[in-house]
């Protein structure tokens, strides 16, 4: 197929390409980085004849300028066009026209790049040569040939862009390709069986779709992945087109903590939730928003942008629950769901690729067909098989009502081995878990600091003051320790390992003897003496004369006895004589 030239050699005249040739050129510019580098970058969109081709080429060239490389899939071009609609530069009908343009290539043989490149080069080179001639005449005598040199360089570079011939499988080439493949940043789902099936996870910039029948755990799977990714510190944006945020968030928290969804919802475990979530110091709460079913991918992209502006960082994961409820243009597509779902999934994948994020969504299966099969597969996709063709990973959810187990079938894996079953694994729907979750150990609480010991002799009247809680200290008006008030509050102590010799009672006056006996009784109480024997110690100190009472003997006897200080104190105070100093 060749171009038709009718406009002379003027630089600004329309190209007048034959329509089918023009469509092939623009399709190649939208899908082949090589074609863009060799010729399409010099084409002027405004000189094309078809409006939809003008918009598509303009979008493809914008991508090439931004990324330094042309798009490899027209999904990125559709996303760029949709962004222009959101900016108010074009309308819905123009977006629809561009999508229809790419539809014409579905199921058709791809254009031959060499033929279309040769035809386009003739026209573009002729325009540049005419521009060189005009610039030469205009600059003659000015001794300024910069514009001429620039045009000549552009003309010489045409058709000489780096040719992408693929990877030459030499040892060096293969190793370099493998290094590039291994360097892809991968992210796990947080479901052990799936992560093992994918190696170390799925690459960033890809879209994963889970498929199941109604009630087949699609939303539960997406909330489970959201819960696990947010625990690692990832910023997850959860767009729900079915459940309000008030129902989604309890599922996420239940999956993270192990409490049931009902317990999280009714508030019966509020006191324990904070401690359970504290076990994950890196946890970043996900952002959950309910959208209407007429929401477009462009509106989702704008929402993500607002999140990133608020958080001050890019998101890591975009969950769309679920893409079947999105709209391509904000209103029903006259061509039906088959075409609309293709556009939706292409745009959604374009967002993931552009932002280099992990994309997660779900789709409905043909419930009537899947019930007849042991495993749900690609042919059970409802509405449009385009969904399975466009996504990078396609996983079906197969729940066994009898055993309560889930089997994941990896129907498609663009970056590795597919067509395999993973599982079965037990589910726990009550806690929002489609697979077992490894719980984090609760944080270890540091022990409370020991009480500050008093700066005075350790032993006071047989009590080790360094072990006394400062909160029970009480003092008399004279500044002395008031054991009468302290003893009921003190915990029992072990007796001192050694009691130094004490002053004999024989050297004390009668009043001093009474005071010494009282102190001995208090010491016995603090050391765990029985109430009766504590009273005997007190009475013995009053009745025996000088020289008969040795305080070391009193303390030694008290050490062999046992009761709580509180019991001894009550007994002593109830049996002492009126007027005695207790």
Is the backbone peptide bond immediately before 249 cis, with ω within 30 degrees of 0? no
- Tokens found for residue 68: 């330094």
pLDDT at 337: 75
Query: Do the Cβ atoms of 456 and 465 come closer than 8 Å?
Result: yes
- Tokens found for residue 452: 């500050």
End-to-end alpha carbon distance in the chain: 118
Query: Do the Cβ atoms of 294 and 330 come closer than 8 Å?
Result: yes
Tell me the C-alpha distance between 582 and 577, whole Å: 10
Tell me the C-alpha distance between 190 and 256, whole Å: 11
DSSP string, 195-219: HHHTSS-EETT-EEEEEE-TTSSHH
Query: Do the Cβ atoms of 228 and 193 come closer than 8 Å?
Result: no
Return the sign of the alpha-carbon dihedral for residues 528, 533, 539, 545.
negative
Query: Do the Cβ atoms of 255 and 437 come closer than 8 Å?
Result: yes
pLDDT at 444: 54
Tell me the C-alpha distance between 16 and 502, whole Å: 121
Domains and CATH numbers, the chain: 19-157 (1.10.860), 186-431 (3.40.50.300), 459-575 (no CATH)
Q: Per-residue pLDDT tens, the chain, 582 aa: give them.
A: 445 444 444 567 888 899 999 999 999 999 888 899 888 888 999 999 999 999 999 999 998 888 778 888 888 898 889 888 888 899 989 998 998 898 888 666 667 788 898 888 888 888 877 777 776 766 665 655 666 666 666 766 676 665 444 445 556 556 655 666 666 688 999 999 999 898 888 999 999 999 998 889 999 999 999 999 999 999 999 999 999 999 999 999 999 999 999 999 999 999 899 888 988 889 999 999 999 988 999 999 999 999 998 998 999 999 999 899 999 887 776 677 778 888 899 999 999 988 889 999 999 887 645 455 678 887 887 666 778 889 999 999 999 989 999 999 999 998 888 899 998 999 999 999 999 987 655 555 566 666 554 444 455 555 666 666 666 666 667 666 666 666 556 555 554 443 333 333 444 455 555 565 666 666 565 555 555 555 565 555 555 444 443 444 444 444 434 444 444 344 444 444 344 443
Helix, coil or strand: residue 476: coil
- Tokens found for residue 377: 């597969």
Burial letters 65-91, b for 16+ CB under 10 A, else e: eeeeebbbebbbbbbbbbbbbeeeebe
Half-sphere exposure of 103 (CA within 13 A, CB side): 15
Residues 6 or more apart from 7 whose CB is under 8 A from it?
13, 14, 15, 16
pLDDT at 552: 40
pLDDT at 23: 93
pLDDT at 558: 40
Tell me the C-alpha distance between 58 and 26, whole Å: 10
pLDDT at 564: 43
Tell me the C-alpha distance between 304 and 347, whole Å: 14
pLDDT at 482: 65
Tell me the C-alpha distance between 31 and 27, whole Å: 6
Tell me the C-alpha distance between 413 and 468, whole Å: 68
Helices (H), ranges, 395-488: 483-486
pLDDT at 303: 95
């Amino acid at each position: 197929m060749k171009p038709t030239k009718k406009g002379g050699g003027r630089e600004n005249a329309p190209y007048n390409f034959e329509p089918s040739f023009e469509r092939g050129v623009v399709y190649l510019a939208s899908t082949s980085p090589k074609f863009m580098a060799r010729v399409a970058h010099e084409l002027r969109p405004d000189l094309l004849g078809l409006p939809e081709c003008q918009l598509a080429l303009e979008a493809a060239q914008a991508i090439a300028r931004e990324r330094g490389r042309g798009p490899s899939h027209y999904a990125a071009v559709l996303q760029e066009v949709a962004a222009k609609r959101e900016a108010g530069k074009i309308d819905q009908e123009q977006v629809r026209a561009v999508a229809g343009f790419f539809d014409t290539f579905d199921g058709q043989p791809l254009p031959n790049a060499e033929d279309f490149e040769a035809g386009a080069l003739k026209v573009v080179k002729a325009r540049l040569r005419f521009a060189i001639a005009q610039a030469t005449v205009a600059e003659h005598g000015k001794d300024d040939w910069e514009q001429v040199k620039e045009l000549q360089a552009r003309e010489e570079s045409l058709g000489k862009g780096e040719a992408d011939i693929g990877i030459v499988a030499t040892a060096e080439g293969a190793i370099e390709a493998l290094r590039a493949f291994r360097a892809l940043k991968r992210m796990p789902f947080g479901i052990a069986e799936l992560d093992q099936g994918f190696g170390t996870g799925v690459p960033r910039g890809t879209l994963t779709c889970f498929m199941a029948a109604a009630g087949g755990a699609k939303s539960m799977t997406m909330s489970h992945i959201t819960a696990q990714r947010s625990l690692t510190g990832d910023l997850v944006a959860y767009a729900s087109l079915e459940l309000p945020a008030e129902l989604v968030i309890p599922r996420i928290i239940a999956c993270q903590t192990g409490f049931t969804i009902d317990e999280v919802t009714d508030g019966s475990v509020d006191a324990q939730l904070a401690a359970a979530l504290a076990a994950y110091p890196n946890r970043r709460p996900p952002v959950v928003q309910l959208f209407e079913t007429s929401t477009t991918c462009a509106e989702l992209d704008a929402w993500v942008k607002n999140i990133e502006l608020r958080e001050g960082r890019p998101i890591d994961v975009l969950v769309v629950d679920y893409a079947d409820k999105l709209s391509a243009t904000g209103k029903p597509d006259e061509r039906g769901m088959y075409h609309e779902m293709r556009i939706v999934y292409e745009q959604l994948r374009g967002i993931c690729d552009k932002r280099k994020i992990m994309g997660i969504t779900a789709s409905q299966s043909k419930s009537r067909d899947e019930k007849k099969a042991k495993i749900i597969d690609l042919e059970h996709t409802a509405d449009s098989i385009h969904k399975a063709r466009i996504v990078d990973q396609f996983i079906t959810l197969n729940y066994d009502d009898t055993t309560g187990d889930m089997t994941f079938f990896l129907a498609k894996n663009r970056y590795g081995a597919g067509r395999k079953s993973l599982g079965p694994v037990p589910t726990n729907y009550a806690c929002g878990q489609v697979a077992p979750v490894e719980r984090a150990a609760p944080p270890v609480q540091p022990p409370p600091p020991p009480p500050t010991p008093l700066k005075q002799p350790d032993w006071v009247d047989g009590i080790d003051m360094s072990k006394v809680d400062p909160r029970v200290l009480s003092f008399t008006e004279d500044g002395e320790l008031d054991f009468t008030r302290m003893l009921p509050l003190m915990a029992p102590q072990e007796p001192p390992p050694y009691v130094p010799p004490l002053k004999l009672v024989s050297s004390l006056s009668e009043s001093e003897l009474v005071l010494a006996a009282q102190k001995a009784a208090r010491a016995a109480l603090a050391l765990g003496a029985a109430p009766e024997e504590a009273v005997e110690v007190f009475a013995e100190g009053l009745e025996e004369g000088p020289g008969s009472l040795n305080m070391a003997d009193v303390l030694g006897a008290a050490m062999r006895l046992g009761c709580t200080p509180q019991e001894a104190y009550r007994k002593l105070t109830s049996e002492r004589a009126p007027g005695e100093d207790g």
